[in-house]
Amino acid sequence: MDQTLFVVGVNHRTAPVAVRERLAFSEDEIVGALARLRAAAPTVNEAALISTCNRVEVVGVSSDPARAIAETLNFFATDRNVEPGAFSNAVYSYTARDAARHMFRVGASLDSMVVGEPQILGQLKLAYAQAAVARTVGMVLHRAFHKAFTVAKRVRKGTLIGHGAVSVSSAAVSLAGQIFDKLSDKTVMLMGAGKMAELTARQLKTLGIESLLITSRTFDRAVRLARELGGTAVPYDSYKPYLKMVDVLIGSVASNKPVLMAEELETVIRERRYRPMFLIDMGVPRNFDERLNAMQNVYLYDIDDLGAVVQRSIGDRKREAEKAEQIVEIELESFLKWHAGLDLTPTIKDIRYSIERLRDVELGRHRGWLAQLEPAQRERVESLTRGLTNKLLHRILSGLKQRDDETLDAAFAAEVARRLMGAELDARDAEIEDPDGEIDDVDADLDESENDDGSPGA
């Protein structure tokens, strides 16, 4: 009856990409894989498979988590055709509280390579949807996933964990957004052939920049890139007249001395009527004269400045991650409380105890005339009462256990049992607390109340 959550898998921290890629499942393989897992791992009652660039893991539910984990690992090895030795030392596994915590941390992007990156939540939702299609989601996983989504949402709303540029190019884009209101009416000029500069131009392009000028010492390259990105190539020896229409200038020209001096830009700035200009210097050695930053409405960032922005963002995210961990812990407690409530075992024990107890008491009260019966007759009375109580018990217990699809709150069941069988349970509890106490008095009360009902023994 005990449904324990478990997690087993590898991630970017425990396994290099060479291992992760061998275990990975593509998006359309997952539903089939879950069916195979179900067949190969009989102790796994519920399962979902999360496979991203940074992790391959199974989240499951089992009454024997240790065996379920071993079966799942075997499944990984056979299904992915990887010898177990190749990944066994990279595997982590968690059960119960730790498994739930891990799942919530993954969803909240606390376990990501770049903490706070937003894709993981979508990937988790996909994993849940696929498991639902494969019909391997039961009550516990259903709840665990939804709790993980709630945690992720609370973390997104309550912390700044997803904020801040964590790469040089996104830092440049973020700064452009702090200088300019909208990018669609701006002009970007890309100078030179650096990879990072190109990436920045690409990102700006996806954010709506329409006018992109590209200049490069090798004109062919400029033309090729212009065609690819949807820009206009400008010959390198005549790009300067274009500067007055450029709002964002990205430099990554290989040159030993700056290609743009402050004096050159002075007239440009005036011609632009002081409209702001963002100069992104990605060249090493630097392309732009550092005095440019002192000019009216000109903002110059070199590669180190951008790096510093990234470092600050990462620092901020780490601080925010601490707040996020607290949210995870709070939600974890609420999930575990629910999970503990799922367990009907104590309630079933209570009911069984109460009914047995009623029978004992009843037989005890009639001890007198029962003793006068023939042994065979006495046997039949005993078996009659036993049969009756067993039938009753069976009916109640099977009713309680029929709950595969619907969530029967065990706390509610316990409450109902307590109301129905209160007297017996109270008596037992009193006995536990105070062994030589008032148990007889309670029995006496019980007898009296039975007499009031006019039972046949009176």
Partner 1 sequence: MNTLWIMPALGCYAVSAALFVFDRAQGRTRESGYAVGMLGAGAVFHAFDLTARGFQAGNIPVANFAEALSFLAWLTALAGMVLIVRSRMTVIGAFVSPAVTLALGVSAMTMNGGRLELPAPLRSVWLPIHVTLAILGYTMFVLAASVSIVYLALESRLKSKRALGAAGDDAPSLEKLDRINYRLLGWGFMMLSLAIVSGAIWADATWGHFWSWEPKEFWSLVIWILYAGLLESRLTVGWRGRRAAALTIVLFTVLVGSFVGVNLIFPGKHGGSFG
- By three-state DSSP, how is residue 75 classified? helix
Q: Indicate whether 29 belongs to the interface with partner 1 (CB under 8 A).
A: no
Beta bridge partners of 213: 189, 232
CA distances from 317 to 12, 308, 330 (A): 19, 14, 20
Residues touching partner 1, count (CB under 8 A): 32
CB 213 within 8 A of CB 242: yes
Draw the binding track, 255-274, toward partner 1 (x: CB under 8 A; -: no contact). ---------------x-xxx
Residues with a catalytic annotation lie at: 53
DSSP, residue by residue, 304-348: HHHHHHHHHHHHHHHHHHHHHHHHHHHHHHHHHHHHHHT--HHHH
What is the C-alpha separation between 347 and 182, in angstroms, rounded? 63
Residue pair 8/73 in contact (Cβ under 8 Å)? The answer is yes
Round to whole Å and give the CA distance between 268 and 141: 62
Task: Please report whether residue 321 would count as binding partner 1 according to CB under 8 A.
Answer: no
> Two tokens at 327?
């949210």
Site string for partner 1, 112-151 (x = CB under 8 A): ----------------------------------------
Report strand pairing: 232-235 vs 211-216: parallel
Q: Which of 313, 347, 354, 389 binds partner 1 (CB under 8 A)?
A: 313
248-252 and 277-281 beta bridge pairing: parallel
Q: Which residue in 276, 341, 353, 418 binds partner 1 (CB under 8 A)?
A: 276
Min dist. Cβ of residue 278 to partner 1 (A): 9
CB closer to partner 1 out of 316 and 356: 316
Residue 318 interacting with partner 1 (CB under 8 A)? no
Shortest Å distance, C-beta 333 to partner 1 = 24
**Is residue 275 at the binding interface for partner 1, with CB under 8 A as the rule?**
yes
Residues 174-193: x where in contact with partner 1 by CB under 8 A, - otherwise, as a string: xx-xxxxx------------
The one among 78, 88, 184, 296 contacting partner 1 by CB under 8 A: 296
Contact residues: partner 1, CB under 8 A: 160, 163-166, 170-171, 174-175, 177-181, 270, 272-276, 293, 296-297, 299, 301, 305, 308-310, 312-313, 316
